[in-house]
Structure 1
Amino acid sequence: MLKIVSFTCNACGTDGDDSPFVCTVCQLIVHKTCISFPRSIKLRIHQHPRIIHTHHLQQCNSRNKYCGICRDGVDTNYGVYYCQDCDFVAHVNCGIQYRQSNTESDEDERSITMNDEFIESSFDIIREIKHGDERIIAEIKHFSHQHNLILSDEFSTDLKCDGCMLPICTPFYSCTGCNFSLDKACISYNYHTCNHSLDVRCLISTKDSIEHSGHEHPLYLAVESENRHCSGCGVSAEYGTFRCVDCDFNLDFKCATLPDKARHRYDKHPLFLTYIDPNDYQYVCQICEKERDPKLWFYRCEKCDFDANPECVLGKYPFIKLGDSYIFDNHPHPLVLVEKIEDYPACHDCGKPCDGLALECHRCNFIIHWKRW
């Protein structure tokens, strides 16, 4: 009969009441299940190829005291998974839960990074102009469009960037012959070394930590976000948060990627994302005219004293560009993406009214739900 003892496992750092394995030379005490832990693992949420297991984080000269997955503290006297390239630390059990399978980790994957190689190869400079000592790129050939793009600052309230699908508020590049525009930030993104596709906004999720103007401390990606409410919108986070380890502050992915500036037809000026309400009297969204929570983020125009909820400013479909044309084999003419908000015609596929997003032919009486195509 093996003796049952209470102990703290040196491999994973958790307590146990069991019959552990013990090293009589170095006094190492380990759970039975921890014997089979892999020496190194690859994580889905970490950019470097592998992180290794160590029994003593203090010996690695690490300054990190927080798990990169759950963001709770780690005891440096016990075992963790550790990345020596970036001082990333994870509880053993967190690392095992979110590691990739052996098949996935054995693949030749390259980390997604923004370096000079990607930035330079995403576009070719066609024309530059000099403004004092500054050289301004006035015309480019971008990999995502067949025509040259010209630098412009002529704003329109309904103009969206074809890269991130957010309203354009800064000087941007546009095609003079097509309904195609890119803001200056989005011309840098290009992936030609692998077959992976990634939304421009999702680049933020490839980082372990971010700096956000809405909070004074760094925010760390925490996969474990049970019972955590987003400080920006107040909604319970479903898939993880960017979390402050110093105070009770969390951001879900939606709020972490809200644009700093936006536009709406109700106001001729840019609207700025605002984190602290300067008013003590006006708690109404001036678009939907409903009461809003002053503790939550909103968009504001100081010149007009105009406040509005983010969802009202950005709209129901903030990352879809209306007016784009699509060619399909099932219909002889181009179909245009539209939003039907009144006089709903019947869908040619299901026969129900087309309310919301639809594909419409401007040459014949054809319309179909976007989701039905």
Structure 2
Amino acid sequence: MDSVEHPPVSCLICPSVRLRHYTLEENDGDLFQVINISYYSFSGLEDDNPDDRDFDHRLYLLYWCNNKYSRNESLCGACKSKETGTTYYFCVDCKVSYHKECVESPPLIKSFYHPKHHLQLSYDSYYENISCSYCDLRYDGLMLYYYCFTCKFGLHPVCATRPSFLNYPKRHEHDLNIFPRKVDLTCDVCGVFGSKSFIFVCLQCDFIVHTSCIYLPFVIKISRHDHRLSFTYSLPRILSCGVCRQKVDGNYGNYSCMKDCSYLVHSKCATRKDVWDGNELDEEPEDDYENLNCFEVIGDGIIHHFSHSHHMRFENKTANIVHDEEKLCQACVLPLYGGGVYNCIKSNCDFVLHEACANLPRTKQHMAHPYPFILQVSDTKNCFFCGYCGRFSYGFRYVCNKGGESISIDLRCAAISEPFDHQCHPHPLFLSNELGKSRPCSICRRKILRTLNCIECGFFLCFYCVTLPYEVRYEHDEHFITLSYKENASLNWCEVCEETFDSDKWLYTCHECGNAFHIPCLLGKCAPYMKPSQNLFFEEGEFNLTPNIGLTRSICYLCERRCQDKIMFEVYDDDDEKKLYCYRHLQANKKLLIDNLTCFS
């Protein structure tokens, strides 16, 4: 429970009031909203009108809150950064928490981190290239900060009032002192050379550390490795980083595996937000993921799977069974071409699972997401959108609701791990390590932010293409059709649409018969993992999937052409009139479908 203390007699001004009373000043062509009024008196405010909003604000007090038992994780209402912690000011009128430093911020200060000039309190700068020189956080509008117009130097109020020395024995045994200039030196913790942030130094030990690296965790769990990693300064041999694949310098800090394996990661790579979940695990007990079995063994070859109400029996199918697209695994929505399967023992129930799908882990850590995924069975009346490959699919999925977002991935994307060996490329592939940089996929040529890369050559695959089946069946060909690059000049036209091939795209070919197919013509433009006679439910409406495999293909309502795809979308308008759309035009009509519906073109 919070213990509340009344503020002193001199009334503190709520930051929201001070921020509305600024002076607009220009410096080198950039506009700054400068705050010159004090934080403890209303005498400088021109708000004598009783109807004024600030006049009413005087009736409310800022309460000093000391919450010793739980942490206030809300951001400061003034600087919009950092959790306000266990002690903070709370405005009854704004219903907002504020840092003590932000409330009690004088218009001008002198800071240890910039002793040459005074720092001016400012707010909501029109100048976009300002960031806090201590914590490296960039100001993103509507933020309170201190600024030196001469040196173009900024600090958060919290950072500006930090002490000039630091005692943190867990990082270094001696006191660390601030070096009040940005210089190009190599940090002993992260191994990065540069002057992006301030440094603390120990002259006795020749120890240097960035302000942003002082409190890096000591034991962590990352998405790229199965075991915990521990921070260390020594490295007996030269290894490559498990994230960026570059050399790790053993003279500086890094994270190494706590088990008997030679896995190593740069400090900066290990603590990236897309790799690490932000939890410090030092002195925390080892807590392995709760990988519950997906089924209970009932008898010899008989199981009860959590996804189905009936018992299932194991059968071993031969590899040369007749091609049947109607018999699909309920988990991965792929045909049963052979191998072990589990069939429902009820004669009138067609529920079937591949042996591998029946043994899927209930909890899974994926290399592209810092939080674990939970296996879920999708509603048979609905499909879901895979956050990695962009397909709509049925069947089982892995779901994660942590980290401020909800993401679902299908079983094909969930199965990808590093290093990934693709049949179409001789070298192993690794997840892209450059955040925010898009690359053209070598198969579909689309620019994608998340790709699997070859570190030896310029080969990149998006998650859509990396999960394309390497071998598929075609109803009019007795052989397997394989995915390959167009190298044979005689392969000029597609057997399905009878149109020519682009010279720089991949295709499916039958090497025995010499037949070739566009990828979407053979698999379907929407996805090869969707079932006809099912429904799609979105906020914008309901769409029925209808098969389009007859001798006479259906006509799309928008393009007025016969669609070659295996599935069309059946929509009923306000007059209850049925209309059929091909995938490409349904995607283009944003009134009917959400914007992120993707298509392989």
TM-score of the pair, normalised by structure 2? 0.46
Which gives a bigger RCO, structure 1 or 2 (Cα 8 Å, sep 6+)? 1
Structure 2 residue ranges without an equivalent (≥5): 1-114, 116-179, 365-371, 376-397, 399-409, 537-542, 549-553, 556-568, 583-591, 595-601
Cα offset, 1:219, TM superposition: 1.9
Name the amino acid aligned to 1:66: C
Mapped to 2, the partners of 1:261 and 1:142 lie a distance apart of 31
Quick check: 1:196 aligned with 2:374?
Answer: yes
Contact 1:83–1:89, Cα closer than 8 Å, also in 2: yes
1:361 maps to what in 2? none
Q: Secondary structure at the match of 1:209?
A: coil
Cα offset, 1:123, TM superposition: 6.3
1:261 maps to what in 2? 471
Mapped to 2, the partners of 1:319 and 1:285 lie a distance apart of 22
Cα offset, 1:306, TM superposition: 1.4
Worse overlay, 247-256 or 181-190 = 181-190
1:291 maps to what in 2? 500
Quick check: 1:7 aligned with 2:176?
Answer: no
Contact 1:283–1:291, Cα closer than 8 Å, also in 2: yes
Mapped to 2, the partners of 1:100 and 1:211 lie a distance apart of 27
Mapped to 1, the partners of 2:221 and 2:280 lie a distance apart of 11
Cα offset, 1:220, TM superposition: 2.0
Deviations 1:191-243 (A, max 9, x none): 289981124213324x33222222222222235362322223322223x2222
Contact 1:172–1:181, Cα closer than 8 Å, also in 2: no
Contact 2:470–2:483, Cα closer than 8 Å, also in 1: yes
1:318 to 528, 539, 554: 528
Contact 2:491–2:515, Cα closer than 8 Å, also in 1: no
Deviations 1:154-193 (A, max 9, x none): 3224543322123443346355533444345434325289
1:224 maps to what in 2? 434
Distance of aligned partners of 1:345 and 1:307 in 2 relative to their CA distance in 1, 3 Å threshold: closer
Distance of aligned partners of 1:258 and 1:340 in 2 relative to their CA distance in 1, 3 Å threshold: closer
Cα offset, 1:353, TM superposition: 4.0
Cα offset, 1:108, TM superposition: 8.2
2:459 maps to what in 1? 249
Cα offset, 1:42, TM superposition: 2.9
Name the amino acid aligned to 1:229: P
Name the amino acid aligned to 1:189: L
2:278 maps to what in 1? 101
Mapped to 1, the partners of 2:311 and 2:182 lie a distance apart of 74
Quick check: 1:300 aligned with 2:509?
Answer: yes
2:201 maps to what in 1? 22
Q: Could you say which structure has the higher helix fraction?
A: 1
Distance of aligned partners of 1:53 and 1:291 in 2 relative to their CA distance in 1, 3 Å threshold: farther
Deviations 1:65-95 (A, max 9, x none): 1341x44444443323332434333333333
Distance of aligned partners of 1:317 and 1:220 in 2 relative to their CA distance in 1, 3 Å threshold: closer
Mapped to 2, the partners of 1:223 and 1:339 lie a distance apart of 41
Name the amino acid aligned to 1:80: N
Name the amino acid aligned to 1:281: S
Q: Secondary structure at the match of 2:482?
A: strand
Mapped to 2, the partners of 1:84 and 1:289 lie a distance apart of 58
1:279 maps to what in 2? 488
Worse overlay, 176-185 or 304-313 = 176-185
Cα RMSD between the aligned structures? Answer: 4.2
Contact 2:188–2:209, Cα closer than 8 Å, also in 1: yes
2:252 to 78, 82, 87: 78
2:445 to 207, 226, 234: 234
2:518 to 296, 303, 309: 309
1:53 to 226, 231, 236: 231
1:156 maps to what in 2? 324
Name the amino acid aligned to 1:82: S
Q: Identity across aligned pairs (percent)?
A: 28
Quick check: 1:91 aligned with 2:266?
Answer: yes
Deviations 1:106-147 (A, max 9, x none): 89863488xxx959x5766746xxxxxxxxxxxx54624425
Worse overlay, 173-182 or 314-323 = 173-182
Contact 2:239–2:247, Cα closer than 8 Å, also in 1: no
Mapped to 2, the partners of 1:122 and 1:202 lie a distance apart of 26
Distance of aligned partners of 1:19 and 1:160 in 2 relative to their CA distance in 1, 3 Å threshold: closer
Distance of aligned partners of 1:159 and 1:172 in 2 relative to their CA distance in 1, 3 Å threshold: farther
Deviations 1:334-367 (A, max 9, x none): xx9742654886538895745369xxxxxxxxxx
Higher radius of gyration, 1 or 2: 2
Q: Secondary structure at the match of 1:258?
A: coil
Mapped to 1, the partners of 2:230 and 2:453 lie a distance apart of 24
Q: Secondary structure at the match of 2:430?
A: strand
Name the amino acid aligned to 1:95: A
2:240 maps to what in 1? 65
Mapped to 1, the partners of 2:359 and 2:434 lie a distance apart of 32
Structure 1 residue ranges without an equivalent (≥5): 128-139, 327-335, 358-368
Contact 1:122–1:188, Cα closer than 8 Å, also in 2: no
Mapped to 1, the partners of 2:544 and 2:281 lie a distance apart of 37
